[in-house]
Structure 1
Amino acid sequence: MNKRIFLFSLLLTGTITTSWSQSFKQTPNGIKTNIQSMNVEVQFFTPRIVRIIKSPAGAATKSASLSVIATPQKSTLTVAAQHNELTVRSSALQVKIDKNSGAIRFYEVKGNLLLQEKENGTRFAPGRDTGSYEVEQLFQLSAGEPVYGLGQHQQGVLNQRGRQVQLKQNNMQIAVPFFQSVKGYGVYWDNYSTTNFKDGIDGASFQSEVADAADYYFIYGGNADKVIAGYRQLTGQAPLFPRWTFGYWQSRERYKSQDETIGVVRKYRELGVPLDGIVQDWQYWSEDESYWNSTEFGNPRFPEPRKMVDSVHKMNAHIIISVWPSFGNKTKIYQAFKERNMLFGDFVTWPVNQNVEVYDAFNPHARDIYWSYMNKNIFSIGIDGWWLDSTEPDHLKEKESDEAHKTYLGTYRKVRNAYPLIHTGGVYKHQRDATDNKRVFILARSAFAGQQRFGTMMWSGDVQSGWNVFRKQISGGLNLSLSGLPYWNSDIGGFFSGRNYPKGVNDAAFHELYVRWLQFGAFCPMMRSHGTDTPREIYQFGAKGDWAYDAIKKFIDLRYRLLAYNYSHAWQVTARAGTMMRALVMDFAADEKVWNIDNEYMFGKSLLVCPVTDSMYTGRKNGETTVDLQTIKKQKLYLPAGTSWFDFWTGEKLQGGQEVEKETPVDVMPLYVKAGSIIPLSPLQQYAGEKKEDTLEVRIYEGADGNFTLYEDEGDNYNYEKGKYATIEFVWNNKAGTLTIKDRKGSFQGMRERKTFNVVLVNSKNGTGMEIPRQVDRVIHYTGKTAVNTIRP
C-alpha cells in the first residue's frame, strides 16, 4: 500500500490517523476533524450537495436549521488522505481539505475546480450575543466569474461580482444568503442574523453578526436549473397555486367600503375586461389605529363582510385580504398575546407613534393564536387568500434593545431575517391543516430561504413610481428567482406615485409609465396592479379608443391567452423545481454576452421579454405633459446566441447572437419566441375557468426540435398531490415537420376526454400577436392516445 495515500470506503465509524498528520473521524455521511483548534465537518446530503460546518473547538453544537428541512441521504463516499490534504469524493464531487488552514476546495468529479475557500478565510470573533460568534467565510471566485442571487435588492444589477450587499430584511429588500455561479454551483449560507456579502480584492465573503458556527451548503448542479433543484431539495418544494391566481389582479391602497370593492369587480365585468382577483387592503377593521389589524371587520363601511365575499364569488372572481403581524392595543388578539408575553414590546413598527406591537412569530403557540383569529374572523367567511403585509416586519427607529429582545428562538438579532419564513409558514401550515379544498395563496413583502414551500408569492415592496425604479424591478425579480424563490411581482405603476406624478391618472406621463409597467407585469408570475396616491383601475385611464386604455386591455387579454402556457410552467415549478421568470444566463450560459444583461429575461422556456423602461411618447414642456404617439420609437435588445428567434408580433425570424432594434409603439413591448417552441394559447376569457379549453390554438415556431407538456387539474384544491391531474406531451420534429402528441397521463374529476388542437406554423403572415390565425395548418382531434401528425409536408 502507498504509505502517502490511504483510501477507504466510508462504511464504518472510527478515528483514522495517517501520514496526513491529522486525526479525523468517519461519519455516515462524511468526516469530522480538527485543524488549528477549529472543528471541521464535511457532510454529504447527496452526491451533489455538501454541508460544511466549522466552529471553534469546544463551541456549542448548532441547532436545527430553520430553512433546511432535508436530511442527509446515504451516499457512496471514498476518502483519500494525503500529506497535505484530505479528499472526500462522491460520484459527482471532490471536497479537499487543506491540512494547515482547514480551507476547503470543491471540484467536480473530473477534477475541474469549482470554488475554493480562501486560506485562513474562516474567521471567528466574539459576537454580541452571549456565547455567540461573529463569523466570516471568504471564498476565492475565478476571475470574471459572475454570481447571482442574494435575494431581491433594488440596485439595478444582475451580476453580484464586485458588490457589497447587506442582507437584512426591510420593506424593499429581500435577504437570502444564497448565490449561484455561471459555473453551475450554488452556496447557501445558513444564518438568520444580519449578514453582509462582499466581493472584492480579498475574495467573496459572507459575514454574519450572530452564529455558533460557519455553516453552509455547496450545491453542484452543472446549470442554474439543477442548482435551484438542489436548493429546493434542501429547503422544500413550491406547492402549486390555484389556476385563477395566474389571471389579472386589481388592487388599491385602499378600497374604503365593501360597496367599492364589489363595484370594481362589477365594473370590470361590465367592460368585458378580464379579472380574477381583487385585493382588500387595510382598515377594514377600523379607522381607529388602536384597533389596528384586529382581524375583524369593525369598520361600519363593511357591515356585511360575508356578503361582500359572496358577491365577489358570484361574479366569478376571488378576493384576498391584508393581514399584518402587528396589532393595536385595543384588539382582542393583542390582549391574547399580551397575556402570554408574546409581543415585541417597544419595537417601533408601522403605524408609527401608535400603540401597535409585533407578535413573536417564532413562538409556535403564538402562531396558533394568530391563525385562530384569522380563521374565525376572516377565513370562515370565504376569503380566498392572504396578503401578509410587512412580513419583515416593519422595524422603524431601531434600537440596540430591539436587537437584544428575546424571542422564542433567541435574540431578535440572531433570527431576524427568518421572521417572514416563520410567519408565512404558520399561516400555510394551519390552513393546510384546516382544509385541502382551497390551495394556500400568500402574497408577502419579504421572504427567506425555504419560503417557497409555504405557498408564498413575494412582491418588491412600496416602490416609487418612476422609470429608473421600474427598470430596477427586473433585476430584483430575476435575482430572487436565481435565489430559488420562484414567485415574485411588483406593484404595477409603482406604489407611491404622488412624488413624481402628483396629477396621477390625470397625467399622460403617468399613463405611459403605467402602461409599460403593466406590460412587464403581464410577464411576471403574478400580474397585479396596486398603488397609493392615484387609483389604477383600467377605467381610470379613459375608455375604449383611448391609447392607454387600449394598451392596458391588450396586455390583460394576452395574459389570459397565455393561461395554459403559464399554468403548465407553474406545474414545472412544483414538479420539477422549475423557474418561470428566468435570467438569460439560465438558458444561455454559454453566451457570455448575456451574463450581465439585467433588462431582458425568459418567461418560461420559450418567451424572451424585454420591457420598455424609458419614456418614449410623453415629455414635459412649461410644466405640462406633452404627448406624441406618431413618431414610432425603437428599443435595442440582444437575442442570445445558439438559436433563432421569432418576433411574437410580426412573425419575423432572426438569428441569435446579435443586437436588434424593435419598433415599440405604446401598445407593443419587445417579445420574442425561441425557435422550436410549442405554445398553447387559451381562448380569451373573462376569468380563469370561464371556458373549458376543449379547443386550444397551438403555435409552433420552426427551426429546431421542441417539446411542451400541457398540464391540467381541478384548479384549486390539493388533489393534484394525490395524483389527480393530467399531462399531455407535445413533441415537434423540425426535420420531419411532425407534431407528436403522446398518450395523456393521468386524469382528474371533470377532465374532458377529447380536445381539439388547432395547430399553426408561425410565419410573418400567420399566427402573429393577438390576431386570430388566417390559416390553421392542422386540426387535430385528440382522444388521449399517441398520434404523429404531419404539419409541414
Structure 2
Amino acid sequence: MNRVISFVLISLIALSCTQKNWSVSQDGVTVFPTRTAENGARSVRIVPLGEEIIQVSASADTSFSTEQSLVVLPGLQPVAFEVTEEGDLLVIATAETRVKVSKTTGEVQFFDADGNLLLREKEQGGKELVPIRVDGESGYSLRQVFESADDEAIYGLGQHQADEMNYKGRNEELFQYNTKVSVPFIMSTKNYGLLWDNYSFSRYGDPRPYGQLDQFVLFNKNGEEGGLTATYIDDTDQGHVFTERDEPTIDYENLETIRNFPEGFNFNQAQITWEGNLQPRESGLFNFLLYYAGYTKIWIDGQLLADKWRTAWNPSVAKFQVDMKEGQQYHLKLEWVPDGGVSYIGLKALSPVAPDVQDDISFWSEMGKQIDYYFVKGGNMDGVIKNYRQLTGKAQVMPKWAMGFWQSRERYKTQAELEGALKEFRKRHIPIDNIVMDWSYWEADQWGSHEFDKKRFPDPKGMIDFVHDNNARILISVWPKFYYGTEHYNEFAEKGWMYQQAIKDSVLDWISPGYLGSFYDAYSPGARQLFWKQIDEHLYSLGIDAWWLDATEPDILSNASVEYRKQLMNPTALGTSTEYFNAFALMNAKGIYEGQREKNPDDRVFILTRSGFAGMQRYGTTTWSGDIGTCWEDLKAQIPAGINFSMSGLPYWTMDIGGFCVQKKFERAKEGSPEMEEWRELNTRWYQFGAFVPLFRVHGQYPFREIYNLAPESHPAYKSMLYYNKLRYRLMPYIYSLTGAVYHDDYTLMRGLAMDFPDDRRVHNMGDQYLFGPSLMICPVHQYQQRQREVYFPANSGWYNLYTGEYTDGGQQVSAEAPYERMPVFVREGSIIPVGPEIEYTGQNEAAPIDLYIYGGKDASFKLYEDEGTNYNYEKGGFSVTALTYSEADKTLTIHPRQGEFEGMVKERVFRLKLITREKPLALPDETSEAVEVTYTGQQQVIQL
C-alpha cells in the first residue's frame, strides 16, 4: 500500500502561537482532547486503513494497546491521507473519505469525498471508559455513542431470534447462545458500516440491563399492592392448585434462578399464571423482554403480545413495546405451560428514554483495553461489505457440493442407518450431495475420543467410502468437549489447555447417567493445533469431508447464567474470559481451517458451526441458527435472522429445516390426524424457504427428516419438497456463480431488500421477504393453512412470477397466491438466470446445455462463474467467467469472450436462450417452448432474440 502521507497546514502562524494537542505520523493522527468528561477519552487516534476504512481508537490515557485484534487481519497498513485544520477541527482525508475530529472534545465525524455527513459521534464524543478489574486484570467497561439519521435503517448484529429486521431504535444484548449468534457489526442504508472490535459481553442500543418487574408498582389480581398473583397448578387435568403467592419479579431464566420456584412443585403437568396490574412510575415507551420455554402467552390490557413455544431445555426470547403513562394501571396476564420438566421463564423491561436517545447508535462492552471501532463506507451496501471483508478477511468459494442438498437427522445411530438413508435417496432419485454424522457416534463414556463405537459402526472407513462411491460427501460432528480422564482430555490437561471449573464443580452432562467433562481452550494456539491433530489422526485420515463444530458458544453447561458461563471458560490463554467471552467460535474455527489447509492445501475446508463472530467468514465457515423449535413462529423468525446474519458480512448461513426441537404433538402424531397434517405442512413450507438460503439443509429430532419419512410419495408435501429439491439443483449454475461472486466480488447471497432498493422506505422494516442473489425475490409462507400472502413488490422494478412468468409492476403490495405446494417467488425485471438440467448431485452432467432465462423490460447482465469445484486453484486464477448482457432496446443477448480457464473446463457449451416479457410469459423451468440455441466456444456472440 501507499504509505506516503501529506500535510496541508492552513496557518503556520496560528500553529506557532498555540500549543498543539495533536500529532501525526505515518500510522495516523492522534488527538489529546483539551476538554474531557469524567471517564472520557484522554487520547483519540484516527488511522485510515483504506480509502473507505477508518480505524478509531480511544484510550483512557495517552497510550494505546498494541494487542493484535482477533477480528481484523494482521499487517494492514495505513493509506495515504492529508491533514488540515478547520478551527477546532482536524480534517483527515483520503481519496474517498473525510474524517473530522474535534481538538477540544475528541468527537469524530465521517463524511464522503463530497462532504456529505454520513455519521457522527454523539456531541462531546460519546465515549466512556470506566475502569474495571477482573481476575486481577485491569481494563475498562466501554461505550461509544453515535447520532443516527432519521431516515436510515440499521441491519446486522449477527443472528437473533426475536423476529426483528431493522435495528434502528432497538436494543440487543450481544453474547453467544444456542440459537443466538452475536456479531458486533452493523450496516446502514446510508452506505456505511461499523465494526465494534470487542469480544466481551456487549449491548447494542440501551446500555442498561433489562430491569425486573418491581420497577413498576405491582398489584395482585385482587388489587392489593406488592406483586403479581402467581398461581401454580401441578395437575392441569384436575385443575389442582399447588400454591398461589404474590411475586414481585418473574425471573426464572437460568439454573440458579429456577431454584426460586416453589419447593416440591411438579412441572410435568403444570400450568403457571401470573396476573395483576403494572403501574409505571414514569411515562413513555417501555421495552419488554420475555424469556420463555414451553407454551407461553402474554397479554397487556387484553392485547396478546406474544404466543410462543420452545422446548423446555432451550429457551428463546420475544420482545415487545408498550407505551405507558405514569400512575396508570395496566392489566398483565402471563400464561405458561412448561411442557414437561423444569423449564425457564422470565419477564423484564427497560424503562423509557427520550426518543432521540433511543434512536442513537450505541455499543457498550463489559471489558476491553480501549475503544476500538472501524468505520467502513461504500458506494452501496455491497461496497460496505466489500471493504468490511478487506478489513476482516475474504470468504472463500464454498465447495460446489456444499451448495447441494444436505440430509441430516439427530441422529444416524448406526452405520447401517446412515448408509441406508443414502441408498434410499439414490433409489428414489432424490438429489443429494451431503449426508451428516451427528454426535454420539463414539462409545457412551468416550466423548472427545473421535473414535467410532465399533458395535454400531463396525467399518467407519468402509462407511465413508460408501458415501463417496455414491457421489456424496460426509460431514461429522466434532465438539470442543472432552470427558474427564479420556486420552484426548489428558493430552490437553497436561498442557493446561482444559477449562477446569466444570471439573472442580463436578458438572455432569445430560447423557444418562451423566458424565464429567469440560471444553478445551481454543484461545491457545497450541491447543488449537492439538485439536486439529487429534481430528486429523482419527477422522480426516478416514476421508471425512467436512466438520460440524457444535456447541461453540461455548456451551459448557446449558442454561447457566452468563456469570457462571464466564467462570466455566476462565481463564483463557489470552486473559480473563470476561474480556474474551464472545470469540470462542472464531478461534475454534481458525484452528480447523488452518490445520486442514496446511495438511491438504488442495481440498476446500467446509465448517458448519453453531456460533460465530466477526471475521468467521475467512475460515471456510457456515453458521446455522441452532436448536430452533418446530413451530411457525420459529420458522418466521429465521427469515430476518438469516438476512441480518448475511448483512453482518458473513455470507454462508443455514438452519434446521423443519426445526430441531419437536413439540410433543408432532412426536406423537398419527397418520390422518390434524397434528400430522400440520407437521407435514410445516416441513413443506420450511423446505420451500430452505431451498433459497445459502445452504440447503434438513436436520432435527424425531420424527425422522428424510422426505420419504415425512410423507408418502402421493402426498402434496412429498411432491413439493421434491420439486424444490430439484429446482435448487436446476438453479445450480446461478447459485454457484453467486458463490464465486462471494469471493471474487465480496458478494452477499441472502439479501435484505434494502441492499438493492435502499431508496424504497417501505422495504426498510421488511423481514419476511428477501432477494436470493440479484434476481429471485423469496417470500416464505410462515402461517399454518395460509394459501395467500401479502407480497410487496419493490419500486423501480417490475417482477415476474417464477412459476407462470406473469408480470407485476413494482411499488405495490399484492395478495399473492401461495398454494400448498408452492411458495411465492418472483424474478426481478432485467435478469438473466442460468438453469441447468435435472441432476442428482452437483458433479453430474457438468457439460450439459445451460438454459438462459432472460427477463425483459430492462437491460440485464450476469456473470456465469465456473471453477474446479473442490480446490483452491481459484485463488491462483483457476476459474472462468462468462459475462452475459442483454439489451432491451434491440432485444439482443451478448455472450462475451470467456475470461480465464481451469483444468477440466467445458470449452464448448450449448446455451438455450429463452426471453420472457410481459407479453410472452414463461415458467421457470420450462421444457415445452422453443429456445434459441447457440454453441459457445469462448468467443463473443451476439444473438438476436
Q: Is the pair's TM-score, using the shorter chain for normalization, greater than 0.5?
A: yes
What's the counterpart of residue 620 of structure 1? none
Deviation at 1:96, TM superposition (A): 1.1
Q: Secondary structure at the match of 2:658?
A: coil
Residue 448 of structure 1 corresponds to which residue in structure 2?
613
Picking from 100, 124, 135, the partner of 2:129 is: 124
1:225 matches 2:386: no
Cα root mean square deviation, aligned: 2.0
What is the Cα deviation at residue 467 of structure 1?
0.7
Residue 535 (1) aligns with residue 700 (2): no
Partner of 1:338: 493
Q: Does 1:178 align with 2:179?
A: no
Q: Secondary structure at the match of 2:45?
A: strand
Alpha-carbon separation, structure 2, partners of 1:20 and 1:218? 31
Q: Which residue of 1 is the match for residue 299 of structure 2?
A: none
- Relative to structure 1, the CA distance from residue 634 to residue 20 in structure 2 (aligned partners, 3 Å threshold; closer, same or farther) is farther
Aligned-partner SS, 1:208: strand
Superposition TM-score, scaled by structure 2 size = 0.79
Seen in structure 2, the aligned counterparts of structure 1 residues 657 and 27 have a Cα distance that, compared at 3 Å, is same
Q: Determine whether 1:152 maps to 2:159.
A: yes
Residue 74 of structure 1 and its aligned partner are, at CA, apart by 4.7
Matched with 1:55 is 59
SS for the counterpart of 1:732 is strand
Asked if structure 2 preserves the Cα contact closer than 8 Å seen for 1:683 and 1:693, the reply is no
| Structure 1 Cα separation of the partners of residues 800 and 186 of structure 2 | 32
Q: Secondary structure at the match of 2:439?
A: coil
1:81 alignment partner, SS class: strand
Q: What letter matches 1:94 in structure 2?
A: R
Structure 2 CA distance for aligned equivalents of residues 650 and 214 of structure 1: 54
Offset of residue 8 of structure 1: 6.3
Q: Which stretch shifts more, 269-278 or 291-300?
A: 291-300
SS in structure 1 of the partner of residue 205 of structure 2 = strand
Give, in whole Å, the separation in 2 of the partners of 1:694 and 1:20.
75
Q: Deviations over 1:183-216 (max 9, x none)?
A: 0001101000011111564322111111111110
Corresponding position of 2:781: 612
Query: How far apart are the structure 1 equivalents of 2:18 and 2:653?
Result: 49
Query: Relative to 1, partners in 2 of residues 1:400 and 1:604: Cα closer, same or farther, differing over 3 Å?
Result: closer
| Residue identity matched to 2:129 | F
Q: Corresponding residue for 1:250?
A: 407
Aligned counterparts of 2:874 and 2:18: Cα–Cα separation in 1: 53
Counterpart of 2:531 in structure 1 is 370
Please point out which of 25, 47, 57 is paired with 1:43: 47
- CA distance in 2 between partners of 1:450 and 1:674 (Å): 31
The answer as to whether partners of 1:62 and 1:213 remain within 8 angstroms in 2 is: no
Instruction: Specify the code of the residue in structure 2 equivalent to 1:469.
Output: D
Give a deviation string over 1:20-54, Cα, whole Å, max 9, x none.
Answer: 75421111142112113611101000121100000
1:520 to 685, 689, 709: 689
Deviations 1:337-359 (A, max 9, x none): 11111111124585475211100
* Residue in structure 1 matching 2:829, options 654, 660, 675: 675
* Contact 1:183/1:222 (8 A) holds in 2: no
Secondary structure at the aligned position of 1:760 is classed as strand
Mapped to 2, the partners of 1:108 and 1:349 lie a distance apart of 56
Q: Deviations over 1:132-173 (max 9, x none)?
A: 000111111112321111111111111001211111011111
Q: Quick check: 1:589 aligned with 2:758? A: yes
Per-residue Cα deviation, 1:727-775 (whole angstroms, up to 9, x for no partner): 1111111111111101111112211211100111125766403331422
> Using a 3 Å threshold, how does the CA distance of structure 1 residues 726 and 448 change in structure 2: closer, same or farther?
same
1:34-433 residue pairs with structure 2 within 5 A? 34-35=32-33, 36=36, 38-58=42-62, 61-69=65-73, 71-120=75-124, 121-129=126-134, 130-198=137-205, 201-202=356-357, 203-286=360-443, 288=444, 290-347=445-502, 351=510, 353-396=514-557, 397-398=560-561, 400=563, 403=566, 405-433=570-598
Deviation, structure 1 residue 547: 1.0
CA contact (8 A) 2:518 2:556 kept: no
Q: Secondary structure at the match of 1:69?
A: coil
* Superposition deviation, residue 400 in structure 1: 4.5
Distance 2:591 2:498 in 1: 16
Cα deviation code 1:440-490 (max 9, x no counterpart): 000001111100000001100000111111101010011111110000011
Contact 1:19 1:83 in 2 (8 A): no
Deviation at 1:699, TM superposition (A): 0.5
1:502 Cα deviation from its structure 2 partner? 3.0
Deviation at 1:71, TM superposition (A): 4.0
TM-score between the two structures when normalised by the length of structure 1: 0.93
Q: CA deviation at 1:60?
A: 5.7
* Alignment match, 1:9: 7
Cα distance in structure 1, aligned partners of 2:564 and 2:686:
41
Q: Residue 123 of structure 1 aligns to which amino acid in structure 2?
A: E
The equivalent position to 1:730 in structure 2, one of 872, 880, 884, is 884
Q: Is 1:473–2:473 an aligned residue pair? A: no
Q: Which residue of 2 aligns with 1:26?
A: 24
Q: How many residues align?
A: 764
Matching residue within 717, 723, 727 for 1:558: 727
Distance in 2 between residues matched to 1:351 and 1:386, nearest whole Å: 23
Contact kept? 1:694, 1:752, Cα under 8 Å: no
Cα-to-partner distance string for 1:407-435 (whole Å, 9 max, x where unaligned): 11111111121111110010000000011
C-alpha displacement of 1:244 = 0.8
Q: In the TM superposition, what is the alpha-carbon distance from 1:541 to its structure 2 partner? A: 2.6
User: 2:216 matched to which residue of 1?
Assistant: none
Contact 2:165 2:644 in 1 (8 A): yes
Q: How far apart are 1:694 and its partner, in Å?
A: 3.0
2:290 corresponds in structure 1 to none
Provide closer, same or farther for how the CA distance between residues 160 and 449 of structure 1 changes in structure 2, counting only shifts above 3 A.
same
Corresponding residue number in structure 2 for 1:624: none
Cα distance change of structure 1 residues 598 and 399 upon mapping to structure 2, 3 Å threshold: closer
Letter matched to residue 779 of structure 1 = E
Amino acid at match of 1:127: I
Offset of residue 544 of structure 1 = 2.4
Q: Does 1:749 align with 2:903?
A: yes
How much has 1:219 moved relative to structure 2?
0.5
**Structure 1: which amino acid aligns with 2:474?**
I
Letter in 1 for 2:369: D
Q: Could you tell me whether the CA contact under 8 Å between 2:404 and 2:432 is conserved in 1?
A: yes
Structure 1 counterpart of 2:685, which letter? R
Q: Is contact 1:103–1:117 with CA below 8 Å preserved after alignment? A: yes
Question: Taking every aligned residue pair, what percent have the same amino acid on both sides?
Answer: 39
3-state DSSP class of the match of 2:84? Answer: strand
- The reply to whether residue 434 of structure 1 matches residue 599 of structure 2 is yes
1:726, distance to aligned residue in structure 2 (A): 1.4
